[in-house]
Amino acid sequence: MSEDKPPFLIISTHDYRSSRKASMHFIAEELAKKGKTRFFSVGFSHLSRIIKDHRLPLWGRANRVETQNNIDAYLWQTFVHPVKLPKDRASILLSIYYYIYARLSPRIFKSWVKESKTIFIESSISLAFFGYVKKLNPDASVIYIASDSLRTNNEPRALQKILAKAATKFDRVKISSLLMASEFPRGTPLIFVPQGVKPSIKDPLPPSPYRPGVNLVSIGAMLFDRSFFEIAAKAFPEITFHVIGGGKYASLLSVPNIVVYPDKPYDETIAYIAHANAGIAPYNGQHVSPYLADTSLKLLQYGYYGIPAICPQTVCGKYTGRFGYISGDKESITSAIRQALACQKIPATSILTWEQIANRILDPAAYPDTHIDAKRV
């Protein structure tokens, strides 16, 4: 790691120390090999208790710097923070609140921004900091990581307006699916960099955590559709469904053949994926967008380990080993499960490593496969 280079700064609604891992965690680890890396987590307050934020276990460790794996992490906790409101009529008020919220950020944030040469802003409330970041450090390279579509995640219209105005002003906008390109205005400096995996997670393969029998696993809480399990578990009482980190909706499941787990450290989930008969991506069909076929980490991880995946038809894409269903439809759900179990193993998918992904984001000119203008519809 080079300590003499200007630091990297990540602004995200994730926290580097949390057990639930997303792409920004793995990118941060690769950045830390290249220079000092700082991870500033936003959108956390007493309101987070109501919405059962996955960072709640870090409540007592907020508002101070902690260093883990050579990454400085800071979880900014306030009394309240901007949240989704039920009425778009509140959009103007929310826009004002975003503006104020960013400028109330602590002194450590201002110092980190001014000291950084490259700043990453991840989709969601982090966008509220774009204008302030540019004011504090106009010379910094600011990169937008479009982990998800704001529309798909039902983010407030105020945030969508911020992105619409800022998109062409970013130095780069990284998307993980070409299907996301149409959501950005012409002139946006888009680069295409797919999702990745940690290559070490296959070696050595951990032992199976399952009892004998058929075991299906679901990882994560994004767009979690509880009704899938209520239908599937009743239709297949002989199958055990393992739901890891499913969030507040998963906690309401109470069926004998469903085992609900809290968030687990990333490396611990590997055994559950690798030894499962199939993986489940129970996205809510009312909100799921086709681009998730390319960006869903759980689906890519299932493919990486060669296990078939059960998911809404919308996110099957052109990938082999995915068996689609229609949300809420018992017949299609049972059919998808039967097909996945009959498939057994599939050829493991080749995926970029996070090191390769970080390199492409930092220096896209060196990688022709990141260029998107010629591919954009």
Residues annotated as catalytic (active site), given as ranges:
148
Query: Which of 195, 183, 186 minimizes the C-alpha distance to 292?
Result: 195
Hey, is 123 helix, strand or coil? coil
Read off the tokens for 175.
């998307």
323 backbone dihedrals φ, ψ, rounded to 5°? -120, 115
What are the Cα distances from residue 48, in Å, to 19, 56, 226, 311? 17, 7, 22, 29
Degrees (nearest 5) of the Cα angle 267, 269, 275?
Answer: 115
Q: Which residue has the tokens 């906690």?
A: 251
Element (H, E) at 47: helix 47-51
Calculate helix-pair angle for 157-166, 91-103, nearest 10 degrees: 60
What are the Cα distances from residue 119, in Å, to 8, 9, 24? 6, 5, 12
Read off the tokens for 297.
């980490």
Q: Which residues are registered as beta bridge partners of 240?
A: 215
Hey, is 146 helix, strand or coil? strand
Hey, is 373 helix, strand or coil? coil
- Which residues does 42 contact at the CB level (< 8 Å), separation at least 6? 11, 12, 13, 76, 81, 125, 126, 128, 129
96 backbone dihedrals φ, ψ, rounded to 5°? -65, -40
In Å, the largest CA–CA distance within the chain is 60
